[in-house]
Amino acid sequence: MAEREIIQLGNQVLWEKSREIEDCSARLCQSLVQDLSETLQAFRQRTGYGRGIAAPQINSLHRVIFIRMQPTGFCGALINPRISWASDQSMELWDDCFSFPELMVLVRRSFSVSVDYKDERGLSRSINAEGALSELLQHEIDHLDGVLAIDRAVGPHSLMTRAEWERQRAARPFFEHA
- Name the nearest CA neighbour of 95 among 46, 57, 50: 50
- The answer to whether residue 20 is catalytic is no
Which long-range contacts (C-beta less than 8 Å, at least 24 apart) are formed by 160-167?
160/94, 160/103, 160/104, 160/105, 160/106, 161/102, 161/103, 161/104, 162/96, 162/101, 162/102, 162/103, 162/104, 163/102, 165/94, 165/104
Other beta carbons less than 10 A from residue 126's beta carbon: 11
**Coil, helix or strand for 134?**
helix
- Exactly one of 5, 16, 102, 140 is catalytic; name it: 140
**How many Å separate Cα 118 from the centre of its chain?**
17
Catalytic residue IDs:
140
